[in-house]
Structure 1
Amino acid sequence: MRLTRRGAGTLAGAVVLLALGVGAGYPLLVVVGAMALGAVAAALAVAGRKPRVEVIRELYPDRVERDGRAVLTLRVHNPGTRRQGGFTAVDRVGEDRVSVAVRSLAPGAEQPYLNEVPTGRRGRHDVGPLTLFRADALGLGRSELSLGGTATLWVYPRTHPVGAVAGGLPLHHHDGEATETSPRGSLDLREVRPYVPGDEVRHLHWKATARTGQVMIRDYADPHQPRFTVLLDDRREVTAPEFEEAVELAASLVVAAVKADHRCRLVTPGGVDVGTPSGADAVQRYLEELCVVTRTRGAGLPLVPGVLARAGGGTLVVLSSAVTVSADDRAALVGLRPRYGGVVLVVGLSGAAPEVPGVRVLRAANAVDAIRQWQAVIA
């Protein structure tokens, strides 16, 4: 229990009024001072008791797109034999606060409360801990009690329906030494190697097994498996509104490509490099990465990171700002052009559209406008 600023000021004023009233002989000041002192005493009596309740908190869903609906449920139970007075339950959701006014509870009673969680900011937000506040009607005193731990709310960037473009690797890319990054899964034989747990039994190579004395298995590769790479400009020179639209566009394109069974890769100048095969787990992995990606603080970073200079195949989509694409950046994009089946640069409307030989440049006001133009490109 503690006095608020208003309560401390009221207490100090009451003491001053009582002292002046008694010292100068003004009964009115004494009465006013006594009333103020009585209000502080009443606040201590009302707010001094901390809530004695049990609270169960549930967050559903814990993963939602930006501006989607997430609900925080509180089930408040009074396990005691005395009636519990009302109080306020406050949960922290990132930088926001969610407040619930809990009414008084009879002995043994339970009451559920529903409240929508703010989801307007993309990111990984901690929810909690839950704090119970009790205050008097005048706001002179308050007591608080923290309960429970924290939950995690993932606010993903919005995704929009968009078509995926196919773009594979050159034929027989798997010839020569086998590497761990070579795509697997088709009927083109990649190599014959020893069996490891988890391999398909139907791919056993019986002749090699008989010849070597150990279980051997065929490993296959798909030279035409589509590939899709997104280069998201996260340099600090990109404005915050343009960056949020670029993240939204990147999420839409990557999710569409993964669902189309493409091998995808997400790269940023700031060091993000995520490459996964297709599948439901890949969608969540990319959305989690795009949920927490932020603009870098470093200055002078090139648009094209070194990892892309050694990569290639499929389609490369670059999401940046027209004013941040320098002459060196354009030269680097030209250098990447022979390594990919197609390169598309998407920039905002700020500044003049850069001209990059061999690269398709799209200027879009926002993510929705960029997707509309993207549909025309792949049609």
Structure 2
Amino acid sequence: MPRLRPFRALSVALRVVRLTDRGSAFVVLGGLGLVAGYAAGMPILLYAGCFALALPLMAGVLVRSRESSLAVARQFAFPVVEAGTTSRVTLRVDNYARTGLRGVHWADGLPWQPWATASGWLPPLSARVGGLNQRSAAQLTYSLTPRDRGIFEIGPLLLQSIDPLALANGTWSVGGVTELTVTPRVVALAQSALLAQSGDGDARVLQRRSAGDDDDAMTREYRRGDAMRRVHWRASARHGSLMVRQEEQHSYPEARIIVDTRLAGYPDAGRNESVRLSSGAITAAARSPRFEWIVSMLASAAVQLKREGFLVEVIETGPSQLAEASIVHRRAAEEQEFLTRLATFGPVESAPGWWGEPVPSTSAGGPVLALVAHPEPETVAYLRRQALAGVLAVAFVVESSSSFGDFARTGDPARQPVADELRDAGWKVIAVQSFDDVAEAWTLFVAESRAHRDNN
């Protein structure tokens, strides 16, 4: 059976009819029979040649004329999955035609090689009976394991039939596509030494109370609609009016992650012919293995720091792609929204100097992480200003695995290596490569956090 490939026109059923090797042999033999019969003056060879040519033609017409009126519904076990994990896909195929359908192979279209799932036999579908609009249905299932992050179009359903003599086969697509969101892989990371942990496993919260009596700091005047269970009777007796308890103000320690998202900072960005993405910031022409490592570290580090109790702020050096999802905190919904945004997070073109300098978040003394590969001088200058005294500043620099390095490709061999520039500015630099394990690189950050804790 030939390999099935998805078709781009999805709103109508497309039909492609091809001769099999056997059908092609019949055409060749028929042509030779006609030539030999005409040259030798033997009518029997002319008849045999015509018959041999007519068989593949009739087989093609038979395959082409097969009526099919199918409806396809596709459902994922989880509409948002993590790269490298397996999701179960369920297809429901309903037959609305007046004729039955049997002897058909099926496969579902994929946006990456081999462009279609493994083929299988479609269960026989009975015909619609009279005007009762009855139909036969079949349920198909298969497992899908996307390797890369992104938003992918799965489908359409591909069907292939063959005539009884196996002289011609026809392939057509049915139904539309369904989008599957694939988030980056989140690696389990070790606990850092940045916060002391409470007995219940949650990170310690810094509480701010105004100066003065604790009762005054925890209460306010009664307002219409306040529940009576919130009345603070001791404070009410002292003030001579009803006072109610108010929620304590919490100040969570902050952590910032600076990500270089400028396309110029990734000389290794190139075309990936094995993946076709339907939409989003990532395109087939701008995929970088070094940036993919950065995204995996970004997702894993943000989730880990968030679970340790940090308010995580992600700063992009290029145009904003995360928008309101750039702040990650305690709610699980915020974490999922952040990871979903990272599905289409990619290096983008940006004009020099388009972004102003964000205000450093140093009120809680949280760490600052930088994720870069080969940033532009403007980005390095910005990073130099972020290494403040008393703040743990750690930069992950994804270096080139090529023996020529980045300088030969950027035409700037005289430029000082990025790692050295950041070290001179006070950053702790962890040099990695795109094939290094994210969890192992994080252990070096944990060591830096312990050294920072011990020195402060």
TM-score, scaled to structure 2: 0.63
Task: Tell me, in whole angstroms, the C-alpha distance in 2 between the residues paired with 1:218 and 1:144.
Answer: 65
The letter for the 1-side match of 2:449 is I
Residue 101 of structure 2 corresponds to residue 84 of structure 1: yes
Supply the AA of the counterpart residue of 2:51: A
1:22-72, Cα deviation, whole Å (9 max, x unpaired):
765465465234313211212321452134556543322222221111122
Distance apart, 1:290 and its partner CA: 1.5
**Equivalent pairs: percent with the same residue?**
20
Decide which of 256, 268, 272 is 1:229's aligned counterpart.
256
Give the equivalent residue in structure 2 for 1:368. 439
The AA in structure 2 aligned to 1:154 is T
Distance (whole Å) between structure 2 residues aligned to residue 135 and residue 143 of structure 1: 9
1:337 aligns with 2:387: yes
Deviation at 1:82, TM superposition (A): 6.4
Aligned length: 355
Greater Cα offset, 355-364 or 17-26: 17-26
Give the SS at the match of 1:35.
helix
Aligned to 2:413: none
Which of these residues, 94, 101, 111, is aligned with residue 94 of structure 1? 111
Write the deviation string for residues 265-303 of structure 1: whole angstroms up to 9, x where unpaired: 22221223411432211210111122110111336468x
- Deviations along 1:83-122, one digit per CA (max 9) or x if unpaired, are 5312233433434433532245264876543322241111
Higher RCO (CA-CA < 8 Å; seq separation 6+):
2
- Alpha-carbon distance between aligned partners in 1 of 2:111 and 2:217, rounded to the nearest angstrom: 51
**Aligned equivalent of 1:184:** none
1:321-344 Cα offsets, whole Å, 9 max, x none, are: 1x3353x43332232223883211
Q: Evaluate the alpha carbon distance shift between residue 131 and residue 72 of structure 1 in structure 2; reply closer, same or farther with a 3 A threshold.
A: same
Secondary structure of 2:309's aligned partner: coil
Conserved 8 A contact 1:127-1:151: yes
1:333 and 1:258 map into 2 onto residues whose CA distance is 23
Distance 2:52 2:67 in 1: 25
Q: CA deviation at 1:157?
A: 1.2
Q: Are 2:329 and 1:316 aligned?
A: no
- Give the 5 Å matches for 1:186-335: 218=246, 220-223=248-251, 225-236=252-263, 237-238=265-266, 239=268, 240-270=288-318, 271-272=320-321, 273=323, 274-298=326-350, 300=352, 305-306=355-356, 308-309=358-359, 311-313=361-363, 314-321=366-373, 323-324=374-375, 326=377, 328-335=378-385
Do 1:48 and 1:142's aligned partners in 2 also have CA atoms closer than 8 Å? Answer: no
The CA RMSD measured in Å over matched residues stands at: 4.5
**Quick one: which of 70, 73, 91 aligns to 1:74?**
91
Q: Aligned partners of 1:191 and 1:35: how far apart in 2?
A: 97
CA 1:334–1:52: 2 relative to 1, 3 Å: closer
CA distance in 2, matches of 1:291, 1:34: 58
Give the letter for the 1:357 counterpart.
A
> What residue in structure 2 maps to residue 178 of structure 1?
none
CA contact (8 A) 1:232 1:269 kept: yes
Superposed displacement of residue 139, structure 1: 6.7
Distance in 1 of aligned mates of 2:16 and 2:110 = 26
For the residues of structure 1 that align with 2:346 and 2:80, how far apart are their CA atoms? 19
- Please give the secondary structure, in 1, of the residue aligned with 2:343: helix
Q: Counterpart in 1 of 2:179?
A: 152
2:443 aligned counterpart, secondary structure: helix
- Which residue in 2 is equivalent to 1:346? 396
Stretch deviating more after TM superposition (270-279 or 101-110): 101-110
Q: Pick closer, same or farther for the CA change 1:22–1:248 going to 2, 3 Å.
A: same
Aligned twin of 2:80:
63
Separation in 2 of the partners of 1:5 and 1:278? 58
Corresponding residue SS for 1:97:
coil
User: Equivalents in 2 of 1:341, 1:190: separation in Å?
Assistant: 32
Equivalent AA in structure 2 for residue 247 of structure 1: V
Corresponding residue of 2:427: 359
- The one-letter code sitting in structure 1 at the alignment partner of 2:155 is G
Change (3 A) 1:154 1:22: same
In the superposition, the TM-score normalised over structure 1's length comes to 0.74
Higher strand residue share: 1
Shift in alpha-carbon separation, 1:358–1:36, aligned structure 2, 3 A? same
Matched AA of 2:77: Y
